[in-house]
Structure 1
């Protein structure tokens, strides 16, 4: 059975939300990595790295969702 059976294509607005979320996750990952590399406090470093791994999972989940919907997307842009 296919995972996308019964799924509808994402709307343009939904795609914008996913893209914005991915951008936000990416920025947070970069900020956490920078903070972890700069701090000398091991508790802060460990916390940043733990949160960073969580954000990477979120990013991958969003990416996976987009990939599942790729074959549902129209091949031609909708006419306005």
Structure 2
């Protein structure tokens, strides 16, 4: 995985975290239970996306050589 790809994944994790926080704020600012449920589902999806991104980095880390090749 190139450094550019790693930066992209880190940015994606940050974006997912921001979206999750925005959904949490929106869920607390409404009294409509149907909307609260929608926001909670969105929060769960963003959490899953974050986990998927983290797992992809961890999988790459396991495949990457621990010592420089040369």
Provide the aligned C-alpha RMSD in A.
1.6
Count of matched residue pairs: 67
After superposition, the C-alpha distances for 1:13-69 in whole angstroms (9 at most, x for unaligned) are 100110110000000111111111221111111100011101110000000111111
Q: TM-score, normalised by structure 2?
A: 0.84
With a CA cutoff of 8 Å and minimum separation of 6, indicate the structure with the bigger relative contact order: 1
Q: 2:27 maps to which residue?
A: 36
Measured in 1, the distance between the counterparts of 2:31 and 2:65 equals 47
Structure 2: stretches of 5+ with no match in the other structure: none
Moved over 3 A (4+): 73-76
Measured in 2, the distance between the counterparts of 1:36 and 1:73 equals 44
Structure 1: stretches of 5+ with no match in the other structure: 1-9
SS at match of 1:39: coil
Q: Alpha carbons of 1:53 and 1:18: their partners in 2 closer, same or farther (altered >3 Å)? A: same
Q: Which has the higher helix share?
A: 2
